[in-house]
């Protein structure tokens, strides 16, 4: 049984995180969901709490119950961090070492492997700034899955940017869990 942090960011594809969380739980993992505030516009924390069977971290204000900050505790316990969907904003925060929310703070504090599944408008995906952020994150050791190279997007455009199919994200996570190990503390 592995501990997985599932980060959900502000993308119309955020609702697909419920399927990813459900499959990871069915596979026997402990799943802790962490949402950006903008993700809550697309799916409720309660949905993910029921599926994961753990409270959902959305704000640093949610961390007042314990002496150890929740984002540090989760970062320490994580065997894998998955960001699905990953917005352009979150990619920028990660690439530039910014931590305006619990998810970005976990990213900076964890030693676990990180799997990123981007989802955004194709023009945003292809923008030089986004591509620069992706290159930086790959240099930092992050693994990427997707986005799909072609397909209809929620904005009405056709092209790259769709979140990879949920089962492919779960398969990539399982493979990463079996091929990498977190450094001992």
- Answer whether residue 181 shows pLDDT above 80: no
- Answer whether residue 151 shows pLDDT above 80: no
Respond yes or no: is residue 155 known to be catalytic: yes
* pLDDT tens readout for residues 25-66: 999 999 999 999 999 999 999 999 999 999 999 987 666 665
Kindly list the structural domains of the chain, giving each domain's residue range(s) and its CATH number in brackets, ordered by start.
3-179 (3.40.50.1950)
pLDDT on residue 44: 97
**Contact between 104 and 74 (Cβ < 8 Å):** no
pLDDT on residue 50: 98
- Helix, strand counts (H, E) of the chain: 8, 5
Q: Give residue 161's pLDDT band: very low, low, confident or very high (50, 70, 90).
A: confident
* pLDDT tens readout for residues 95-134: 999 999 999 999 999 999 999 999 998 888 989 999 999 9
- Answer whether residue 15 shows pLDDT above 60: yes
Cβ-based neighbours of 116, under 8 Å, separated by 6 or more: 82, 83, 84, 86, 91, 94, 137, 142, 143, 144, 145
Cβ-based neighbours of 88, under 8 Å, separated by 6 or more: 118, 120, 124, 125, 127, 130, 133
CA 18 – CA 50 distance, rounded (Å): 10
Identify the active-site residue in 126, 135, 152, 155. 155
**pTM score of the predicted model:** 0.92
**Contact between 56 and 33 (Cβ < 8 Å):** yes
Q: Tokens in use for 13?
A: 């594809």
* pLDDT tens readout for residues 74-103: 999 999 999 999 999 999 999 999 999 999
């Amino acid at each position: 049984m592995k501990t997985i942090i599932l980060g959900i960011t502000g993308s119309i594809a955020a609702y697909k995180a419920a399927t990813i969380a459900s499959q990871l739980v069915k596979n026997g993992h402990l799943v802790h969901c962490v949402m950006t505030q903008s993700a809550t516009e697309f799916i409720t924390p309660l949905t993910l709490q029921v599926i994961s069977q753990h409270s959902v971290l959305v704000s640093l204000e949610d961390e007042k119950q314990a002496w150890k900050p929740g984002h540090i505790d989760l970062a320490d316990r994580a065997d894998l961090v998955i960001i699905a969907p990953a917005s352009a904003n979150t990619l920028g925060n990660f690439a530039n070492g910014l931590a305006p929310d619990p998810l970005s703070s976990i990213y900076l504090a964890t030693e676990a492997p990180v799997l990123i599944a981007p989802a955004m408008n194709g023009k945003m995906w292809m923008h030089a700034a986004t591509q620069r952020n992706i290159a930086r994150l790959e240099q930092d050791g992050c693994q990427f899955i997707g986005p799909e190279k072609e397909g209809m997007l929620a904005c009405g455009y056709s092209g790259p940017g769709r979140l990879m199919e949920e089962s492919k994200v779960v398969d990539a996570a399982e493979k990463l869990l079996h091929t990498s190990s977190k450094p001992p503390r």
